[in-house]
Structure 1
């Protein structure tokens, strides 16, 4: 039975009625007023007949006091009154949901008219600064020049064209460098639209707007445009790097009023029309910080990971996504084995890398996913590799003997993180010591042999499969490998962020086992052959 008649009756009681013209069968269009303390504002509302989304509200017309620009009011008077991520659509109460949505729209509109949402303009800046899309791949925030690249209808601003073209290699066509003037300037002020004429249409209007935000930035912009004019360039692009986002504009015909002679020092640039550019960041800093805002990333650090097996394959990629190998840093992956077909069921690498060195294959795969990263593969035995000079060493081999060798031989000033899987996927564990009084990995192994610090109650019985011609291996699914890698990354991010983190961390995966110990710190074991002097 349709709920529309009951909905219309409820809306009528609130002053809304069905529009005579219904342009779409998927939406019900109603008209009425949003009541505010400043008076009633006429509007249209488009209601999804399936009630799987909130009504779309359009002001008809936009009140004069909110022209030409106001927060949360978009083109043609659309009113943004709710963020989809902050509310849940209730498909079981369509009438109550619709009425509540219209009430919320009225509240937000009243706040806008009262000037209480003006600061939201900074967050909505790009809703009023629309134009041609440009990719931005610039590592440095320092003021300087850049290169403008074009591939068919795509444009990119870059300070490293080779890196940028690798990132955008999937786009059709061939990149070429445009002989346009490109300048980048920085500002400490977040942009926000003016309350009168917006967006700026000429160089003069843009400079007047910038002078109210950051006059020093205005002077930089003016100097860059003047220089392009004096160099005889018809087009110029200026990218402004602000705390919130980069934004940019281009001059359309900078030389439309040429100077009469070289002695003419006038700058007839202020009436030149500009084109707003919509910038899309693809730089490494943005990619790594986007999902962990305000947190420390691995950018600029030298990290060495030993073992590109079932744990290391996933962990290596996670480290790269957290910034390893960016901003002058390095991610070195060490493994002297090739990828065997039997590994494919739980390895990050696929069949295309079968019988190839795992270290080289993982480095190639990371660079394919995130071009431009400094990932160095070492397809040799770690015992032959120089591990000096790194900020962090990671043992992802899961081999107890090699882990103990690393504990004894690695540079003492370098933190060493071990990540491994207990038994046939019963639990995953990580261990890192951060204080001279704390024990090494060999200390932990010796404690476990005496029944201390075990992962689960009763310990873990060894379990092997494939004991025929194939040779023995420990059976567990790829999900275990991924969870071990995730624990490893969590440990690394706690270390780089200087957050409190126990030296020994355990996550029990088996429902038939109980954790034997809480996460804790392990003290140095007297007489340890690896770390005792």
Structure 2
């Protein structure tokens, strides 16, 4: 305890401008937010008002910062960043760097930050935080129900569905349509069959408040009453939404066992929208209407007493979840084709799904094999399925394995699996490739890739195409973009030799010198493969995915050749030779990413562009 006593004495002697009357108190006095081992109490001044604060220390101090509380939570009124127990949220833990060799400095700085947070709240400098963190403050109400919700916010009033579990005595899932996606989502995630008639489904109302609405969340000591909620709704919706709301309400009748749900979309200064709700339950007709079997919805006329419970909504919609990542909402509706679902293609697919792409067509005629699992996005659980007709295990096509993986992790994604050879698809109808916003080719067969590069350019409206491939033994990987913004540069450029058109074909992007065979066989010709590690495939997938996102978001204006270069030790130890291009630095590879283009390229050389 000597450390804490020393900190107390330094606060008393050196920081009278920050805190006065510092004394040791029992840790039991402090709100039980953590297992504190020591606590101090003192007086701070904000403006001309004094307030008592607690400084509480965890056992891991000074690796962890001290917690600071207001003794009286409401001493400065309802201001941002004060929790219900008086805790002052003065700094975020994530990314916080503490100088553990200066414990007193940590305490002094923490106290100064806490005081600054209070000063900004009292002066109104951070008042927007109350609006922008509307959902956070709403969730701090004492009586509340937490409900999972998959709801697309819109500008129109609409009816919604509420799944109620009588065993749990609460709503468990809110959605806006009885469609295939929501049915799958509820079954996959919550194990509810929402089409089952025994599952209780009720209808609620989604009400978006008009843009520009300025609405503070309810304070901890003054929760909203229904009259206030009703006034907020009808004072802050458009005239068209008011008409639609009244139409819906007139069709509703309230009964004794009715539960009614209202969800509000609240605009925030930061451009986002909070989503909160209420449950109305335990309806009891007023005395003058006690003989009525039903009565009007309270939003039309209050003819009953009822219980009001706040709903805290755990939002599952991708457009909301992507805000919590570096996700790209602008690519949400893009349609991507991935040709080749091997070690690279499978990972690209998964990373694009995580980035926000919601529609995929997956093309591969190969099955997942045990030889693949240590380099593939899919594991051994996707190797087999039981064929009921033939009564035996069958290997799973890679596209079906990826379909299952994607739908289990991200049920709202649209995935079309095609167990097809790319050459067969080209013969069937080359024009089907015009439907995509981007095509990614990761088949590792340069002959087929050259052919695809040739035929895709015969389309009237070809989408951008990324070719991506790995080099052996970890020396690198590549991703080449073509057909972007009408610029020249294509896969064939890599095989075009302007000085000797009759020379042997060689990919000039390669880090390996020409005329070498890298295939490895473990037990015969049928087991031949190019040796590379899982991390090599992952790094190439990351390279290609970043390029794909740059294309989809419009950041990339041209057709670059992107490459990453790895360690050559294993490659050289196997007796192989490196190319001149391997000698380039990472900076040089980036600076020359457009220099691969061949003016004499028979495929794109006359296309124009830079």
**Shorter-chain TM band:** 0.7 to 0.9
Quote the residue 1:120 is aligned against.
129
Quote the residue 1:60 is aligned against.
71
Other structure's SS at 2:493 match: helix
**Structure 1 residue 514: Cα displacement:** 3.5
Moved more, 391-400 or 79-88: 79-88
- Say if 1:98 and 1:180 are closer, same or farther in 2 by CA, change over 3 A: same
Distance in 2 between the 1:271 and 1:191 partners?
29
Please list, as runs of the form range in 1=range in 2, the aligned pairs for 1:178-193 lying within 5 A after superposition.
178-187=200-209, 188-189=211-212, 192-193=215-216
TM-score, length-scaled by structure 1: 0.87
- Say if 1:343 and 1:195 are closer, same or farther in 2 by CA, change over 3 A: closer
1:331-357, CA deviations, whole angstroms, 9 ceiling, x for partnerless residues? 111111112221111111111233321
1:234-279, CA deviations, whole angstroms, 9 ceiling, x for partnerless residues? 3211122343221111222455334877999881269754211101
Quote the residue 1:424 is aligned against.
473
Distance in 2 between the 1:391 and 1:306 partners?
14
Please list, as runs of the form range in 1=range in 2, the aligned pairs for 1:14-413 lying within 5 A after superposition.
14=15, 15-23=20-28, 26-51=36-61, 52-66=63-77, 69-85=78-94, 87-130=96-139, 131-139=144-152, 141=154, 142-151=156-165, 152-153=167-168, 155-161=172-178, 162-164=180-182, 166-168=184-186, 169-171=188-190, 177-187=199-209, 188-189=211-212, 192-193=215-216, 200-210=223-233, 219=242, 223=246, 226-227=249-250, 230=253, 232=255, 234-242=258-266, 243-254=272-283, 256-257=285-286, 258=289, 267-268=301-302, 272-292=306-326, 295-324=328-357, 326=358, 330-354=359-383, 355-385=395-425, 386=429, 387-388=432-433, 389-410=435-456, 411=459, 413=462
Q: Which among 512, 519, 523 is matched to residue 593 of structure 2?
A: 519
**Structure 1 residue 132: Cα displacement:** 0.8
Quote the residue 1:438 is aligned against.
488
**Structure 1 residue 466: Cα displacement:** 2.2
**Structure 1 residue 427: Cα displacement:** 1.5
Distance in 1 between the 2:76 and 2:601 partners?
79
In structure 1, list runs of 5 or more residues that go unmatched.
none
Quote the residue 2:577 is aligned against.
none
**Structure 1 residue 421: Cα displacement:** 1.1
Contact 2:264 2:276 in 1 (8 A): yes
Distance in 2 between the 1:431 and 1:255 partners?
69
Distance in 2 between the 1:177 and 1:191 partners?
38
Moved more, 485-494 or 468-477: 468-477
Distance in 1 between the 2:471 and 2:416 partners?
29
- Say if 1:459 and 1:246 are closer, same or farther in 2 by CA, change over 3 A: farther
Contact 2:54 2:70 in 1 (8 A): yes
Q: How many residues align?
A: 526
Distance in 2 between the 1:365 and 1:156 partners?
23
Contact 1:419 1:484 in 2 (8 A): yes
**Structure 1 residue 65: Cα displacement:** 4.4
Quote the residue 2:5 is aligned against.
5
Other structure's SS at 1:75 match: coil
**Structure 1 residue 438: Cα displacement:** 0.6
Other structure's SS at 2:273 match: coil
Contact 2:36 2:59 in 1 (8 A): yes
In structure 2, list runs of 5 or more residues that go unmatched.
29-33, 267-271, 384-394, 499-503, 570-581
- Say if 1:454 and 1:140 are closer, same or farther in 2 by CA, change over 3 A: same
Contact 2:488 2:605 in 1 (8 A): no
Distance in 2 between the 1:509 and 1:292 partners?
27
Contact 1:70 1:195 in 2 (8 A): no
Distance in 2 between the 1:322 and 1:217 partners?
36
Distance in 1 between the 2:90 and 2:515 partners?
56
Quote the residue 2:527 is aligned against.
471
Distance in 1 between the 2:89 and 2:147 partners?
26
Contact 1:150 1:156 in 2 (8 A): yes
Distance in 2 between the 1:65 and 1:435 partners?
57
Distance in 2 between the 1:211 and 1:171 partners?
35
Contact 1:430 1:488 in 2 (8 A): yes
Distance in 1 between the 2:100 and 2:285 partners?
58
- Say if 1:20 and 1:392 are closer, same or farther in 2 by CA, change over 3 A: closer
CA RMSD of aligned residues (A): 3.5
**Structure 1 residue 401: Cα displacement:** 0.9
- Say if 1:194 and 1:241 are closer, same or farther in 2 by CA, change over 3 A: closer
